[in-house]
């Protein structure tokens, strides 16, 4: 959709959303303006000049709608109201206007696979079996055990632990919640639900927003047989195959596209867990009948089942570069000519990139954060930065359960440690240290004053104790900072069409240490090599064709070598 005619520079059709860098704001942790310890829209508005300085083009704003905040706003109680903790619609409009004034677009996070149980649709739906809103949600009869105990309709486990079904006494039925019990799944089989979603999207577009990030869009169409899933070691079953990329998902997305998305000049990105290349080519097809791009998750979840995983994603296992590289190479090559990629290491559900993929020890933190940025930002696709990533913010390194806020963490702790004894308290905290979502939800580190300049009051979640060393104030004017390095990468993308539209070819695919690739466009080439280890390694990529240095994270590149976590890029 919205593609302008390609120029003679490349076969790739040009579009503004292919040329942008997107920055995710997690509003609860970005900037507090009224000293209640919670980030808000006015605070965010004050910080927009910082984002303009960084040079990003688009903000993905995590949910700010009315919500009981069971899952930090991913549980929406009214899609047309701003939650009072964030402000009101006037504050929103002011933020949007200020962003637009700075040349920054804003896309909304649209969570429409489920609502909050406090949404009035659900309050109605639950009242009686014949309520007009009954079919807005997925209600089913349960099973009955031999001893008369009521059992859920099937064995599916919720993403946040426990059964994915909740019994409701009033009507003696169960409702489906793939996430928390306060997040009932909408029933997209109902044409009224689909119309409601279209209406609210139009409402936000008419207000001036520039697009949407669709939460778990791959889950909106459920297999209507609702069969039991493959048993897991905790006794529950996997809902995956019956929920992800379900039978009518493309039909539903096409309907939204036809009725709303195609009518505005907006950008759309769908969160698509469990997506295959084949499915992605449909969701993000080049004809533009569905979405502009999707997030795939293979490179951030491939090691879920390897040694060191206790249950699901929870464990102390670490990603290996060759595996991560093989997966991203697969997506780079596999979507070429079919679909546009989105590029990310981080989002509000993932641990911090520098801690997970780089090295967050004081010695290597900055250089490895820059290497990761370089490796990702010069690939083909639209890059996404999570707030604080541009400062090299690290994981929290939790020492106590009291520091955890996330419904997912509390759920898995209760189930795996307290109820089922699958792992010990110490093991679970080690897993939290490795993969917990709260790692990346700690307050933005603006400066070295109390609470990192995020708030004057005790924040809703602890500030990472390293804020005195890692903060924006110390980086924005330092030409060697991680911030300045991100800024340079963004500038390069804006000024060099090859970075946006060039083809991608993997190099040195057998190397255990170096992730390298070449981009090409109209006879021009750039060569990128990133050392993912803390050792100096040999690199012969430039022996015959030295090229001109374009960007790097060391003051001096040594010919034939890559220093620890060095990223080196040449042109020509």
Q: Which residues pair with 25 in a beta bridge?
A: 61
Q: Select the binding partner of residue 111 from ligand TEU, Ca ion, none (C-beta < 5 to 8 A, by kind).
A: ligand TEU
Count of residues binding Ca ion (CB under 5 A)?
5
Could you count the other beta carbons within 10 Å of the beta carbon of residue 216? Answer: 22
Residue in this structure with the two tokens 């609702």, named with its chain if needed: 226
Minimum CB–partner distance for residue 133 and ligand TEU (Å): 21
Residues 36-65 that bind Ca ion (CB under 5 A): 36, 38, 40
What is the contact mask toward Ca ion in residues 328 to 357, using x (rule: CB under 5 A)? ------------------------------
Binding flag, residue 83, Ca ion (CB under 5 A): no
Residues 321-350 that bind ligand TEU (CB under 6 A): 348-349
Q: Select the binding partner of residue 74 from Ca ion, ligand TEU, none (C-beta < 5 to 8 A, by kind).
A: ligand TEU
Binder among 18, 313, 356, 487 for ligand TEU (CB under 6 A): 313
Binding flag, residue 34, Ca ion (CB under 5 A): yes
d(CA 316, CA 319): 10
| Active site residues per annotation | 215, 271
Minimum CB–partner distance for residue 91 and Ca ion (Å): 11
∠ CA 30-33-34, nearest 5°, is 130
- Residue pair 295/340 in contact (Cβ under 8 Å)? The answer is no
**C-alpha distances out from residue 564 to 134, 536, 558, Å:** 59, 5, 12
Count of residues binding ligand TEU (CB under 6 A)?
13
- Residue pair 169/99 in contact (Cβ under 8 Å)? The answer is no
Q: Which residue is nearest to ligand TEU, using beta carbons?
A: 74
- Residue pair 157/234 in contact (Cβ under 8 Å)? The answer is yes
What is the contact mask toward ligand TEU in residues 42 to 81, using x (rule: CB under 6 A)? -----------------------------x--x-------
Binding flag, residue 501, ligand TEU (CB under 6 A): no
Could you count the other beta carbons within 10 Å of the beta carbon of residue 353? Answer: 26
Could you count the other beta carbons within 10 Å of the beta carbon of residue 116? Answer: 27
Q: Give me the helix-helix angle, 482-495 and 365-377, nearest 10°.
A: 10
Residues 96-135 that bind Ca ion (CB under 5 A): none
Q: What is the DSSP string of 439-473?
A: GGTSPP---SSGGGGT-SS--SSPPPGGGGTS-ST
d(CA 33, CA 40): 7
Sign of the alpha-carbon torsion through 458, 91, 88, 137: negative
- Residue pair 512/562 in contact (Cβ under 8 Å)? The answer is no
How many separate helices (H) and strands (E) can be counted in the chain? 16, 24
d(CA 100, CA 117): 34
Residues 92-131 that bind ligand TEU (CB under 6 A): 111
Q: Select the binding partner of residue 215 from ligand TEU, Ca ion, none (C-beta < 5 to 8 A, by kind).
A: ligand TEU
Binding flag, residue 171, Ca ion (CB under 5 A): no
d(CA 199, CA 510): 51
**C-alpha distances out from residue 230 to 236, 314, 415, Å:** 8, 19, 19
Sign of the alpha-carbon torsion through 404, 408, 409, 414: positive
Binding flag, residue 298, ligand TEU (CB under 6 A): no
Please, which residue, 219 or 499, has the CB nearer to ligand TEU? Answer: 219
What is the contact mask toward ligand TEU in residues 503 to 522, using x (rule: CB under 6 A)? --------------------
Q: Select the binding partner of residue 462 from ligand TEU, Ca ion, none (C-beta < 5 to 8 A, by kind).
A: none
Binding flag, residue 159, ligand TEU (CB under 6 A): yes
Please, which residue, 314 or 501, has the CB nearer to ligand TEU? Answer: 314
Q: Which residues pair with 570 in a beta bridge?
A: 527, 549
Binding flag, residue 179, ligand TEU (CB under 6 A): yes
Minimum CB–partner distance for residue 159 and ligand TEU (Å): 5
Please, which residue, 32 or 215, has the CB nearer to ligand TEU? Answer: 215
Q: Which stretch binds Ca ion (CB under 5 A): 34-42, 94-102, 185-193, 410-418?
A: 34-42
Contact set with ligand TEU (CB under 6 A): 71, 74, 111, 159, 179, 215-216, 271, 273, 313, 348-349, 408
Contact set with Ca ion (CB under 5 A): 32, 34, 36, 38, 40
């Amino acid at each position: 959709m919205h593609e302008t005619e390609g120029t003679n520079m490349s076969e790739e059709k040009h579009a503004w959303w292919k040329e942008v860098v997107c920055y995710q704001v997690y509003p609860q942790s970005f900037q507090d303006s009224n000293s209640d310890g919670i980030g808000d829209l006015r605070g965010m508005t004050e910080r927009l000049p910082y984002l303009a300085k960084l040079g990003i083009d688009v903000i993905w704003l995590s949910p700010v709608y009315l919500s009981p905040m069971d899952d930090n706003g991913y549980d929406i109680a009214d899609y047309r109201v701003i939650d009072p903790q964030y402000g009101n619609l006037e504050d929103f409009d002011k933020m949007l206007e200020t962003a637009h004034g700075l040349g920054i677009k804003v896309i909304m996070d649209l969570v429409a696979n489920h609502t909050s149980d406090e949404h009035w649709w659900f309050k109605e739906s639950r009242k009686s079996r014949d309520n007009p809103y009954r079919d807005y949600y997925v209600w089913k009869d349960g099973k009955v055990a031999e001893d008369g105990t009521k059992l859920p309709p099937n064995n599916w486990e919720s993403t946040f632990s426990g059964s994915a079904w909740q019994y409701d006494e009033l009507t003696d039925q169960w409702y489906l919640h793939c996430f928390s019990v306060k997040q009932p799944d909408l029933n997209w089989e109902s044409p009224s639900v689909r119309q409601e979603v279209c209406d609210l999207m139009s409402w936000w577009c008419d207000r001036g927003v520039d697009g949407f990030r669709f939460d778990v869009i791959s889950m909106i169409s459920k297999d209507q047989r609702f069969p039991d899933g493959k048993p897991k070691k905790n006794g529950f079953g996997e809902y995956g195959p019956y929920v992800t990329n379900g039978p009518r998902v493309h039909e539903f997305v096409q309907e939204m596209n036809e009725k709303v998305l195609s009518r505005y000049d907006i950008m759309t990105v769908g969160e698509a867990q469990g997506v295959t290349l084949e499915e992605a080519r449909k969701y993000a097809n080049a004809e533009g009948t569905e979405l502009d791009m999707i997030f795939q998750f293979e490179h951030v979840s491939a090691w879920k089942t390897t040694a060191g995983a206790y249950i699901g994603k929870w464990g102390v296992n670490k990603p290996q570069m060759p595996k991560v590289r093989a997966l991203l190479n697969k997506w780079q090559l596999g979507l070429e000519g079919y679909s546009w990629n989105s590029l990310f290491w981080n989002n509000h559900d993932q641990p911090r990139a520098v801690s997970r993929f780089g090295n967050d020890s004081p010695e290597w933190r900055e250089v490895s954060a820059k290497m990761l940025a370089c490796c990702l930002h010069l690939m083909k696709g639209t890059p996404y930065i999570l707030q604080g990533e541009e400062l090299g913010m690290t994981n929290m390194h939790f020492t106590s359960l009291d520091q955890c806020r996330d419904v997912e963490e509390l759920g898995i702790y209760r189930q795996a440690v307290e109820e089922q004894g699958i792992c010990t308290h110490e093991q679970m905290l080690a897993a939290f240290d490795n993969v917990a979502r709260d790692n990346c939800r700690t307050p933005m580190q603006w400066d070295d004053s109390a609470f990192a300049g995020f708030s004057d009051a005790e924040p809703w979640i602890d500030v990472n104790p390293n804020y005195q060393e890692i903060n924006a104030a110390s980086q924005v004017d330092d030409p060697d900072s991680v911030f300045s390095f991100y800024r340079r990468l963004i500038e390069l993308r804006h000024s060099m069409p090859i970075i946006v539209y060039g083809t991608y070819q993997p190099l040195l695919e057998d190397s255990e240490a170096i992730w390298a690739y070449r981009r090409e466009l109209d006879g021009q080439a750039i060569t990128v090599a990133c050392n993912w280890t803390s050792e100096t390694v040999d690199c012969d990529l430039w022996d015959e064709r030295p090229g001109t240095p374009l960007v790097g994270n060391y003051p001096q590149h040594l010919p034939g070598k890559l220093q620890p976590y060095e990223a080196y890029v040449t042109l020509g």
